[in-house]
Amino acid sequence: ITKKVLMLPGDGIGPEVMRQVQRVMDWMAKKRDINFDVTEGLIGGASIDAHNNPLTDETLADAMAADAVLLGAVGGPKWDNIPFDIKPERGLLKIRKEMGLFANLRPALVFDALVGASTLKEDVVKGLDIMILRELTGGIYFGQPRGIEERDGVRFGFNTLVYSEPEIERIARVAFDMAMKRNKRLCSVDKANVLESTVLWREVVERVAREFPEVDISHMYVDNAAMQLVRNPKQFDVMVTTNMFGDILSDCAAMLTGSLGMLPSASLGAADETGARKALYEPVHGSAPDIAGQDLANPLATLLSFAMMLRYSFDMGDDATMIETAVQNVLKGGLRTADIMQPGMAKVSTSVMGEAVINELNKL
Amino acid sequence: ITKKVLMLPGDGIGPEVMRQVQRVMDWMAKKRDINFDVTEGLIGGASIDAHNNPLTDETLADAMAADAVLLGAVGGPKWDNIPFDIKPERGLLKIRKEMGLFANLRPALVFDALVGASTLKEDVVKGLDIMILRELTGGIYFGQPRGIEERDGVRFGFNTLVYSEPEIERIARVAFDMAMKRNKRLCSVDKANVLESTVLWREVVERVAREFPEVDISHMYVDNAAMQLVRNPKQFDVMVTTNMFGDILSDCAAMLTGSLGMLPSASLGAADETGARKALYEPVHGSAPDIAGQDLANPLATLLSFAMMLRYSFDMGDDATMIETAVQNVLKGGLRTADIMQPGMAKVSTSVMGEAVINELNKL
Ligand SMILES: CC(C)[C@H](C(=O)O)[C@@H](O)C(=O)O
Ligand SMILES: CC(C)[C@H](C(=O)O)[C@@H](O)C(=O)O
């Protein structure tokens, strides 16, 4: 049975990086007889422009029916001043929530060829390979009550950070599973010295830990984690944390690599009876409206997101590795898009970079 | 009238670094006839051991009666497993709240002599001088309701992030004032694309901005701010943000300098009719229980916190500068405590470092 993939190019550079994935899909069909049943849809600003809604019920239904979703990027200054409720970000938050994508996998990986792109010293980041698990459908992002209200003539803005035991348990379990597949070290990040919600977080993580005696579990306060990421990021293997802390720490960790244009992500739901999970893949970088439509964007993060799709949704780890190897070989060959350009390298466009990956695939 | 200073050495290395401040005070009395009326008190673990309470009413009363409080550090593994409500941290949070210390000033400064201590490349951090204003008595740290509860057989942990307009306004005003005294650039950090509480935050900051037309105000999402601190920290002058975001970003920024043992902080309350503010000064580093009592700790952050006290509480900017200059001269002279040791420098103890500062003061 053919795998159903929904492509949501979104805004800014989304469409042009997504076209490079289409190329790799075409290559897979032609060379390896692997076919995907691809549908396209709108999300974010593109959907607002068409439907005055950042995520229509129709697109959501397509996403629910797909075996995996690949997203480009959403947002841009064009939609900065529209109401909070229909901003492009709402589309992203809604699709995560409705699809139940509670586990956000954010690898922070330093490619050998790009170690110089980091603002950190080479010895601090060379070989860096962290996996951050961010809880994605709970916490303060979705907690009720929330809003802005006037009480006795004074306005208050408020949000609720809330986690239930089952919510913590399921993300913890994904994290421990991940640690078992990697170096068996897991650091859970909380603020248990201040926030009761994360006192529960720590307690539940401790309990799940007992099911994974081989994993070396540690706990760290979020402020210290931010420091330690800067001081010595290689001390970490897998990290797991709340939605809000994960938002901050995963971006911090991403920037340690110096090459945001290289980083993919996966957002996974719970496994159903057949073991299948709803899943959405997207590059970590944003929509970069300033360079959109100019064939300048780096398509590699999106290609690597597609590789993650092959690995996590379609159990095609070998094909995933093939794409990852092709990307590394292109870098070794000296090709660079503008964002990762280095002295002595060849600066290429989005489409030339995509073509170069196909060439490397042909050689493998 | 003599200025009343309450010294709260606290736990771990607190007492030994505090002794070096006492030395500078003695020097000021002898050489410059500046006298402080010093009282000592207990806080944190030390107070738990004595009174089973991390901050007694008596110590709090002393703090309220003082013109300024100087704190060492609190906490340590000894008190890790005592109940949440009487942990050492409670003492710290309570003194901040009761004294109304809503404005936490967290400079992140790279000393020329120590630029090599950073994990970031020299050109990225050389000359770095950021001031982070963290709101300290509101937000999710103190919001109600909070706790852990069972509903329908499922346990939930929850906290409330809440800000009122006046709370945002007063910290914004401190931030704009600070920006006016510095390079007139202020970046307010929020998560206004997700959290309504920070939609209000942004709105109020915008309104206060109109009173300070000379200040170049910008807004940044917290995830991006964490990235930008790593990518190019020198883009920032003054930053202002919520209690929780400030906790994370100020520690991240502190670590960019590579020398946590050098960083002071100030926490200020509102000005009363006479213009005086309640104030507490403390080094950014923790209680470092592993090296406590061994004369190894770096006393410079505490000395620089004392300098901030002179500047912000006692309007003694010249004396503050004198201490800061003495500290810089000691570094230039090649003395280093273990935490900032570099090849070719002379490793010295806490007390020798304190003495060296006195020697430099004598030369000024
Ligand atoms: C756009 C925004 C709502 C989103 C988030 O905060 O989750 C983004 O920062 C991300 O990390 O995917
Ligand atoms: C000890 C802890 C409660 C405290 C905080 O989170 O405010 C500390 O991290 C700080 O930044 O002073």
Q: Which residue has the higher pLDDT, B80 or A98?
A: A98
Q: What is the pLDDT of residues B18-72, one digit of tens each?
A: 999 999 999 999 999 999 999 999 999 999 999 999 999 999 999 999 999 999 9
pLDDT band at B186 (very low <50, low <70, confident <90, very high): very high
Catalytic residue among B31, B223, B315, B332: B223
- Residues A92-106: what's their mean pLDDT? 97
Give the number of other CB atoms < 10 A from CB of residue A83.
7
How far is the C-alpha of B141 from the C-alpha of A196, rounded, in Å?
Answer: 10
Q: Which residues pair with B74 in a beta bridge?
A: none
How far is the C-alpha of B269 from the C-alpha of A17, rounded, in Å?
Answer: 51
**What is the token pair recorded at B359?**
């020697």
Q: So what's the pLDDT on residue A192?
A: 95
Lookup result for tokens 């006393």: B299
Q: Which DSSP helix (H) or strand (E) runs through A340?
A: none
Q: What is the pLDDT of residues A244-284, one digit of tens each?
A: 999 999 999 999 999 999 999 999 999 999 989 999 999 99
How far is the C-alpha of A304 from the C-alpha of A324, rounded, in Å?
Answer: 7
User: Which is nearest to A202 in space by CA: A162, A248, A165?
Assistant: A165
Percent of chain A with pLDDT over 90: 97
Which chain A residue has its CA at the smallest distance from B169's CA? A155
Q: What is the pLDDT of residues A284-314, one digit of tens each?
A: 999 999 999 999 999 999 999 999 999 999 9
| This prediction's pTM | 0.97
Q: How wide is the angle at C-alpha B300 spanned by C-alphas B296 and B304, nearest 5°?
A: 155
- Residues B131-147: what's their mean pLDDT? 98
Q: Determine which residue's CA is closest to atom 8 belonging to ligand 2.
A: B247
Q: So what's the pLDDT on residue A116?
A: 94
User: Strand B346-347 relative to strand B335-336: parallel, antiparallel, unpaired?
Assistant: parallel
The CATH number, out of the four listed (3.40.50.300, 1.10.3210.10, 3.30.430.20, 3.40.718.10), of the domain defined by the range A129-256 = 3.40.718.10
Question: Ligand 1, from A71, A85, A93, A244: best to mutate by most atoms within 8 Å of Cβ?
Answer: A93
Helices (H), chain B: 14-32, 45-51, 57-65, 88-99, 122-125, 165-181, 196-209, 222-231, 243-256, 300-312, 317-332, 350-363
**Burial letters A235-273, b for 16+ CB under 10 A, else e:** ebbbbbbbbbbbbbbbbbbbbbbbbbbbbbbbbbbeeee
- Residues B116-145: what's their mean pLDDT? 98
Q: What is the pLDDT of residues A48-63, one digit of tens each?
A: 999 999 999 999 999 9
Phi, psi at B53, each rounded to 5°: -160, 125
Judge if B1-111+263-364 and B129-256 fold alike in CATH terms.
yes
Give the number of other CB atoms < 10 A from CB of residue B159.
30
Which chain A residue has its CA at the smallest distance from B200's CA? A157
Q: What is the pLDDT of residues B205-251, one digit of tens each?
A: 999 999 999 999 999 999 999 999 999 999 999 999 999 999 999 99
CB contact under 8 A, A194 and B160: no
User: Which is nearest to B66 in space by CA: B327, B323, B336, B281?
Assistant: B281
Whether B320 has a binding-site annotation, put simply, is no
3-state secondary structure of B121: coil
Of B121, B159, B222, the CB nearest to A197: B159
**What is the token pair recorded at A340?**
């990762």
Whether B191 is a known active-site residue: answer yes
**What is the token pair recorded at A87?**
């901003």
Q: Looking at residue A120, what DSSP letter applies?
A: B
Q: What is the pLDDT of residues B287-300, one digit of tens each?
A: 999 999 999 999 99
User: Which is nearest to A77 in space by CA: A9, A15, A8, A11?
Assistant: A11
User: Which is nearest to B75 in space by CA: A230, A244, A226, A192?
Assistant: A192
Contacts of B191 in chain A (CB under 8 A): 244, 247
- Radius of gyration of chain A measured on its C-alpha atoms: 20
User: Which is nearest to B40 in space by CA: B4, B74, B73, B75?
Assistant: B4
Instruction: Report whether A9 contacts A282 (CB < 8 A).
Output: no
How far is the C-alpha of B199 from the C-alpha of B162, rounded, in Å?
Answer: 12
Q: Determine which residue's CA is closest to atom 4 belonging to ligand 2.
A: B89
With a 6 Å cutoff on the Cβ, whether A92 touches ligand 1 is yes
Polymer length of chain B: 364
3-state secondary structure of A105: strand
The residues, ordered by sequence, that sit 6+ positions from A116 with a Cβ below 8 Å of its Cβ are: A122, A258, A342
Instruction: Report whether B7 contacts B70 (CB < 8 A).
Output: yes
pLDDT band at B346 (very low <50, low <70, confident <90, very high): very high
Burial class (CB in 10 A: 0-12, 13-18, 19+), B68: buried
Q: So what's the pLDDT on residue B79?
A: 93
CATH H superfamily, domain B1-111+263-364: Isopropylmalate Dehydrogenase (3.40.718.10)
Burial class (CB in 10 A: 0-12, 13-18, 19+), A127: exposed
- Residues A73-85: what's their mean pLDDT? 91
In angstroms, what is the span from residue B93 Cα to ligand 2's centroid?
8
pLDDT band at B84 (very low <50, low <70, confident <90, very high): confident
Judged against a pLDDT cut of 80, whether residue A1 lies above it is answered with no
Q: What is the pLDDT of residues A331-359, one digit of tens each?
A: 999 999 999 999 999 999 999 999 999 99
Q: How wide is the angle at C-alpha B47 spanned by C-alphas B45 and B53, nearest 5°?
A: 95
The residues, ordered by sequence, that sit 6+ positions from A345 with a Cβ below 8 Å of its Cβ are: A334, A335, A336
**What is the token pair recorded at B262?**
């050098």
- Radius of gyration of chain B measured on its C-alpha atoms: 20
How far is the C-alpha of B99 from the C-alpha of B117, rounded, in Å?
Answer: 36
Give the number of other CB atoms < 10 A from CB of residue B46.
25
Contacts of B226 in chain A (CB under 8 A): 226, 248-249, 251-252, 255
- Residues B133-144: what's their mean pLDDT? 98
How far is the C-alpha of B161 from the C-alpha of B164, rounded, in Å?
Answer: 10
Percent of chain B with pLDDT over 90: 97
CATH numeric code, A1-106+263-364: 3.40.718.10
Contacts of B200 in chain A (CB under 8 A): 148, 155-157
Whether B49 is a known active-site residue: answer no
CB contact under 8 A, B119 and A230: yes
Give the number of other CB atoms < 10 A from CB of residue A346.
11
Give the mean pLDDT of chain A. Answer: 97
Q: So what's the pLDDT on residue B112?
A: 94
In angstroms, what is the span from residue B247 Cα to ligand 2's centroid?
7
Give the number of other CB atoms < 10 A from CB of residue A169.
14
B243 CA closest ligand 2 atom index: 7
Q: Percentage helix, strand, coil, to 5, in chain B?
A: 50, 25, 30
Q: Looking at residue A295, what DSSP letter applies?
A: T
Give the number of other CB atoms < 10 A from CB of residue B348.
21
CB contact under 8 A, A251 and B223: yes
**What is the token pair recorded at A156?**
């208050």
Instruction: Report whether B298 contacts B262 (CB < 8 A).
Output: yes
Shortest Cα distance, chain A CAs vs residue B54, angstroms? 14
Judged against a pLDDT cut of 90, whether residue B80 lies above it is answered with no
Whether A223 is a known active-site residue: answer yes
Domain ranges of chain A: 1-106+263-364, 129-256
Whether B112 is a known active-site residue: answer no
User: Which is nearest to B255 in space by CA: B346, B130, B347?
Assistant: B130
Catalytic residue among B141, B163, B281, B312: B141
3-state secondary structure of B285: coil
In angstroms, what is the span from residue B72 Cα to ligand 2's centroid?
13
How far is C-alpha B300 from the geometric centre of its chain's CA atoms?
Answer: 13
Contacts of A91 in chain B (CB under 8 A): none
Q: So what's the pLDDT on residue B1?
A: 73
Contacts of B85 in chain A (CB under 8 A): none
With a 6 Å cutoff on the Cβ, whether B71 touches ligand 2 is no
How far is the C-alpha of B57 from the C-alpha of A41, rounded, in Å?
Answer: 62
For B265: left if phi > 0, alpha if psi spans -120 to 50, otherwise beta; the answer is beta
